[in-house]
Amino acid sequence: MMKLKDSVYWVGVKDWEIKRFHGEEYSTHRGSTYNSYLIRDSKVALVDTVWTPFHEGFVEDLEREIGLKNISLIVVNHTEQDHAGSLAYLMEKIPETPIYCTKNGAMMIKKHFHKDWNFNVVKTGDSVDLGENRLVFVEMPMLHWPDSMATFVSGANVLLSNDAFGQHYASPYLYNDQVDQGELFQEAIKYYANILTPFSRQARAKIKEVLDLNLPIEMIAPSHGIIWRDNPLQIVYKYQQWASDYNEGTAVVLYDTMWGATKKMALSIAKGLGDRGVGVKTFNVGKCDKNDLITEVFKSRGVIVGSSTINRGILNSTAAILEIIKGLQFKNKIGAAFGSYGWSGESVKIIEDRLKGSGIDVVMDGIKMQYDPEAEDLRSCEDFGAALAEKF
Ligand code: FEO
């Protein structure tokens, strides 16, 4: 248990070992944390639990440090298993304890755990008096699940924001001013890009709503990673930027290649872009972490994708990254396709269709080359990149 301020304590778990999260869907190079919080007042409130594999140690620690019978109520800000996974084990020990959550939260807890516990459904503005502090609830639907909410500890003035403003980032430290700022913001933007991008419209509206409340926020404590105590609103303003169809005016060239021809095209297209002043990064998607690539896509204005043709289709690594891009529905991005082929040559058309289906504005007809491009072909690729640069 670590004291954050006044009566607010961190009772979470640091997971140094996890390298893939959400099944295999999200890479966690720097581990993660599952942050649970305890408000020790006249009443004691537990806000969120930790991921299922850690349930025994989590509950044992609570028993030793506070006594489970002394927990007056449990707040479930979000029912996903990394936060509510230890609830069933905890509720076996204290089954009558009231659970505060949204209407969707109660439905989802029942669907997950098949139990009808003592639910207290709350809406935005509802509150619970703990003594010196009051918990004020703010529904956050689709940030990032329908059940999501945040809890403001009025008195201590700590916003327990759940997934919002979090990062998959294990550290020996708790606070934002104690860690490497590059690592912290890399993990924060990766989290936003890979998880929150499809909900940017809701994020913009909710941030405005919360800022308009003029809450005296002194600390923002999310459910993953580092707690924002130094200038806590800096991450809220970052989210405002990221939620506003963000890009940095740069380009990313994503490709996979069978025998190197598509790679030569990728590098020449990138040269054409770069020579015209567009900052450009080039990645072989077959060799890169896909969540890191999505972060690069998020930061880019231009998304140029290439693949060899294989069996009338595209290489599976390229198909996978395009599937993720489609799901995230980025806004305010332009794109184009390229690729080499031997005889049928469908890859460029397939990529263009997928980019269009992802909401990316395909601003030029794609370029394809049969077998291995010669110097003159590669000059055409450079010209293609230069022409693309004019569209930025
Ligand atoms: Fe960290 Fe949506 O769970």
pLDDT along the chain (392 residues), means of 10: 96 97 93 98 98 98 97 98 97 98 98 96 98 97 96 98 98 98 98 98 96 95 98 98 98 98 98 98 98 98 98 98 98 98 98 98 98 98 98 96
303, 308, 313, 314 alpha-carbon torsion, rounded to 10°: -40
CA-nearest residue for atom 3, ligand 1, is: 80
Query: Relative to the CA of 162, which ligand 1 atom is closest?
Result: 1
CATH 3.60.15.10 fits 2-242, yes or no: yes
Q: How far is the CA of 320 from the centre of ligand 1 (A)?
A: 23
CA-nearest residue for atom 1, ligand 1, is: 163
Task: Please identify every residue annotated as catalytic.
Answer: 22, 78, 80, 82, 144, 163, 191, 224
pLDDT at 335: 98
Query: Relative to the CA of 195, which ligand 1 atom is closest?
Result: 2
Tell me the C-alpha distance between 102 and 141, whole Å.
Answer: 9
Best CA proximity match to 151, nearest among 175, 122, 174, 176: 122
Tell me the C-alpha distance between 348 and 10, whole Å.
Answer: 51
Tell me the C-alpha distance between 86 and 57, whole Å.
Answer: 10
Q: How many CB atoms lie within 10 A of CB 218?
A: 15
Is-same-fold flag (2-242; 251-389)? no
Residue ranges per structural domain of the chain? 2-242, 251-389
Q: How many CB atoms lie within 10 A of CB 237?
A: 12
Residues 6+ apart with CB under 8 A from 256: 262, 284, 285, 286, 306, 307, 308, 315, 317, 318
CATH 3.40.50.360 fits 251-389, yes or no: yes
Query: Relative to the CA of 81, which ligand 1 atom is closest?
Result: 3
Q: How far is the CA of 80 from the centre of ligand 1 (A)?
A: 6
CA-nearest residue for atom 2, ligand 1, is: 80
pLDDT at 336: 98
Contact 220, 228 (CB under 8 A): yes
Q: How far is the CA of 381 from the centre of ligand 1 (A)?
A: 43
Q: How many CB atoms lie within 10 A of CB 114?
A: 8
What one-character DSSP code corresponds to residue 104?
H
